[in-house]
Amino acid sequence: MKALITGPMLAAAVVLAIPAAASPPQGSGTAWDIVADLTTEVGPRLDGSEREAAARAWAAARLKALGFQNVREEPFTIRGFVRGEDRARLLAPAVQPLAITALGYSPATPAKGIEGEVAYFPTLDALKAAPAGSLAGRIAFVDHAMRANQDGSGYGPFGNVRRQGPGIAATKGAIAIIIRSAGTDNHRNPHTGVSSFPDGVKPIPAGAVSNPDADLIARTAAAGRSMRVALTLTSHPQDGMPSGNVVGDLVGSNPALAPIIVACHLDSWDLGTGAIDDGAGCAIVTAAALKAHAAGTQRTIRVLWAGSEELGGWGGIAYAKAHANEPHALAMESDFGADRVWRVKLNLADEALAARIAAALNPLGIVRGDAKANGGEDVGAIIEAQKLAVIDLNQDGTRYFDYHHTPDDTLDKVDPVQLQQNVDAWAIVLGIVGNAESDLKPVG
């Protein structure tokens, strides 16, 4: 009798014939589990959304399970942003779809969309130089030349196209603005991120297109061809949305010494799953705090998983206000992905202690930087209010802005080996400062 392959047997044969996909990196340990579980069980967690609230509940449960004490959610209210459907098309000289995303706090266009002639600006300075009223009825396009580099310093000046461009275009009469994404990849992924409009300026719809789409617009402009764009953005701001911080302590053995605060942010942009921005940061600071505490620390290590960083650092501001009357000794933050730490910067008056920390990090390939540490968005307000000592562990940012604020910010971009190097570096620092009995003061 002939063998007949039918039903389940056939299905099994077909499954076996499919070649395995490239396997994603698989890690293990506390840090990996935090970023893997947060991105799997909660996913994107935009400021003010129901998913950000779900993330707070998830985070509080996880911190308690890991042995943190005094775990609590500290709610506050923000002006949030609701993602709708964002679409754009080049209508002339050729009809082409544009991969676009609305920028944070962009108002919506009318539901039927808007159309306008494109005014191309190669730089933000060129936009600034445009005469008042010269953009009336037109859609501004602002280009820039951000490139990848190790310290991520391009994000400051080129990111200003996103932060400031919409407000400037609005003051000159533009009906909308489109920018080249603040990103360094060549994928068809636009990079979102927050924008703002100065007081008294009527906000205009603002979106970012992917780099290949921006290249198309730049080529067309260079050829001297006029362009028209159709734009429909239904994303929009919304007042009175709930957000909050999650805080937990690993209580030290000497209550007379002020605590160390280590921070990350729990919210994320909604296009990806917030694995590198900033699930990895929460994973790193939490795993390192546990590791240092387990080895013995005199000072309490407080973990702050801040809410609503992306739309304006609202969590850091709320924390500084809520904890203004409590002493803090030193602040640190992790919010630059999961790639390895390559440099330490210290703002510590005790130079012997600073040198000891730098020497202890040396075997991990970490060098001491000349510039002063400055913390970040989630600890900036408390550092400023209390004049705290600060240590920065700078991560390699070479590929960070390929994925930042895009659909590509997903778990597979986290390299478990580099993630663990971060945890080891942080644990070394927390072990030293957590047992430093001298006053931890900044240089200035």
| Least spacing, CB of residue 271 vs Zn ion, in Å | 11
Q: Is 277 in the site for Zn ion (CB under 5 A)?
A: yes
Alpha carbons 56 and 249: distance in angstroms, whole number: 16
Burial 412-423 (b: 16+ CB within 10 A, else e): ebbbbebbbbbb
Strand-pair category, 206-209 with 100-102: antiparallel
Span interacting with Zn ion, options 87-95, 178-186, 331-339, 395-403, rule CB under 5 A: 331-339
Closer of 263 and 344 to Zn ion (Cβ): 263
Alpha carbons 140 and 41: distance in angstroms, whole number: 40
Which of 333, 335, 378, 402 binds Zn ion (CB under 5 A)? It is 335
Span interacting with Zn ion, options 89-97, 171-179, 273-281, 385-393, rule CB under 5 A: 273-281
Closer of 152 and 248 to Zn ion (Cβ): 152
Closer of 143 and 310 to Zn ion (Cβ): 310
Span interacting with Zn ion, options 243-251, 270-278, 295-303, 365-373, rule CB under 5 A: 270-278
Span interacting with Zn ion, options 144-152, 272-280, 357-365, 366-374, rule CB under 5 A: 272-280
Closer of 277 and 396 to Zn ion (Cβ): 277
Closer of 232 and 268 to Zn ion (Cβ): 268
Strand-pair category, 86-92 with 228-233: antiparallel
**x/- track of binding to Zn ion for residues 143-162 (CB under 5 A):** --------------------
Number of residues that bind Zn ion (CB under 5 A): 3
Which of 143, 185, 249, 278 binds Zn ion (CB under 5 A)? It is 278
Alpha carbons 391 and 398: distance in angstroms, whole number: 21
Alpha carbons 251 and 253: distance in angstroms, whole number: 7
Closest by Cα among 310, 321, 300, 236 to 266? 310
Alpha carbons 157 and 198: distance in angstroms, whole number: 18
Span interacting with Zn ion, options 4-12, 271-279, 291-299, 384-392, rule CB under 5 A: 271-279
3-state secondary structure of 328: coil
Outline where 187-244 has alpha helix (H): 211-222
Alpha carbons 200 and 65: distance in angstroms, whole number: 48
Q: Is 52 in the site for Zn ion (CB under 5 A)?
A: no
- The helix (H) or strand (E) run that includes residue 344 is strand 341-347
Alpha carbons 93 and 107: distance in angstroms, whole number: 27
| Least spacing, CB of residue 307 vs Zn ion, in Å | 12
3-state secondary structure of 394: strand
Name the residue type at position 319. Y
**Residue 295 structure tokens:** 């080895």
Closer of 343 and 404 to Zn ion (Cβ): 404
| Least spacing, CB of residue 295 vs Zn ion, in Å | 28
| Least spacing, CB of residue 377 vs Zn ion, in Å | 7
Span interacting with Zn ion, options 67-75, 178-186, 335-343, 423-431, rule CB under 5 A: 335-343
| Least spacing, CB of residue 309 vs Zn ion, in Å | 6
| Least spacing, CB of residue 141 vs Zn ion, in Å | 23
**Residue 89 structure tokens:** 């098309």
| Least spacing, CB of residue 278 vs Zn ion, in Å | 4
**Residue 205 structure tokens:** 């719809």
Alpha carbons 375 and 263: distance in angstroms, whole number: 9
**x/- track of binding to Zn ion for residues 191-230 (CB under 5 A):** ----------------------------------------
Span interacting with Zn ion, options 84-92, 211-219, 269-277, 388-396, rule CB under 5 A: 269-277
For the CA atoms of 146, 151, 156, 157, the dihedral, rounded to the nearest 10 degrees, stands at: -40
| Least spacing, CB of residue 264 vs Zn ion, in Å | 8
| Least spacing, CB of residue 404 vs Zn ion, in Å | 6
Closer of 249 and 278 to Zn ion (Cβ): 278
Q: What length does the chain have?
A: 444
Beta bridge partners of 6: none
User: What's the chain's Rg over C-alpha atoms?
Assistant: 24
E strands, 234-279, in order: 236-250, 260-265
Span interacting with Zn ion, options 60-68, 252-260, 328-336, 433-441, rule CB under 5 A: 328-336
Q: Is 409 in the site for Zn ion (CB under 5 A)?
A: no
Alpha carbons 100 and 181: distance in angstroms, whole number: 9
Name the residue type at position 393. L
| Least spacing, CB of residue 313 vs Zn ion, in Å | 10
| Least spacing, CB of residue 193 vs Zn ion, in Å | 7
- Give contact residues for Zn ion (rule: CB under 5 A): 277-278, 335
